[in-house]
Structure formats: structure tokens, C-alpha cells
Structure 1
């Protein structure tokens, strides 16, 4: 095990115990942020598809 690996683990543990500085996310917060970003991207895709479908059907109903 390298000293750098151990240093990283100790730092991560300090942050997870709430001893990190401002702006440092705990592991749980990082996981939640990743999940929310993924969910946000999926919702954006869904909205874009719905916009295109609405435009298609609006154009079709004008005939």
C-alpha cells in the first residue's frame, strides 16, 4: 500500500465523519449527487421527447 493511498483513505474518512472543510462532500452526498444528476439527465431527455411529440401531434391535428 502506498502512502498516497493511505492518505486518501484517511482524508475520505475525515470528510465522511464531518470533519472536512467547506465544500467537501461526504461519500453519501457524492452518491446522492450522482444519482440526482443521472435522474436530471433522464428527465431532460423525456421532456425533449414529449416536446417533439406534442409538436408532431399539434401539427397533425391542424390538418
Structure 2
């Protein structure tokens, strides 16, 4: 199931930029997020996730960047498809090997 994004990338970038620009005006990051989130129309936790993602992508925070995460997902999908194809080939191989044995026994 694919999530639908209520907010455009431009709105997300603007919200993150607002948090970064006004971070020093508040006693904590969370206070800044709680103040800015209603102005954007999202819940604070969502804005916090956007800020964390932006910091990770910028190298300011440990973790996988968005590009790395997308690449990992693509590789995991490919591995899953290859394993499925491998299972199909193994099953077909066993089927044809058994058919060949049965044919030789009848002769």
C-alpha cells in the first residue's frame, strides 16, 4: 500500500527551512516545531520527521539518506524477485528431472 502525501515537497522544504531559521528563537527544537507545525497544517511529529530527514540528507545526522534508502528498497525488491525466480527454476528443474526419471523407468 502506497502512502499518499498530503504535502508537496515545496511545502516540506519551506517548513523545514522555517524550523531551521527560527530554531534559535525557541528554547528547544521541539518548541520551534510545535510553534511552526500548526502554521503549515501538520502535526508536530510529522514536521519533526521532515527535519530529521533533511538533517540526515545534509549529513548533519547519522543514518541513511533519502537516496540511499531508495536504493536499498530497490535492491531489496530485486533480491525478492530473484529469489522467487530461483524458486520457480528449482521447482521446474525438479519436475523435469522427475519426468526424465519416470520416462527412463518405463522404457
Q: Does 1:34 align with 2:73?
A: yes
- After superposing on structure 2, the runs of 4+ consecutive aligned residues of structure 1 that deviate more than 4 Å are none
**What TM-score does the superposition give when structure 1 sets the normalisation length?**
0.83
The RMSD of aligned alpha carbons is: 1.3
Q: Pick the structure with greater CA Rg.
A: 2
Q: Gaps spanning 5+ residues in structure 2: where?
A: 1-41
Q: Give the Cα–Cα distance (whole angstroms) in 2 for the partners of residues 54 and 34 of structure 1.
A: 30
Q: Gaps spanning 5+ residues in structure 1: where?
A: none
Residue number among 84, 98, 101 corresponding to 1:59 in the alignment: 98
**What TM-score does the superposition give when structure 2 sets the normalisation length?**
0.52
Q: Give the Cα–Cα distance (whole angstroms) in 2 for the partners of residues 30 and 19 of structure 1.
A: 16
Match of 1:48 in 2: 87
Answer with 48-57 or 6-15: which moved more.
6-15
Q: Give the Cα–Cα distance (whole angstroms) in 1 for the partners of residues 84 and 45 of structure 2.
A: 40
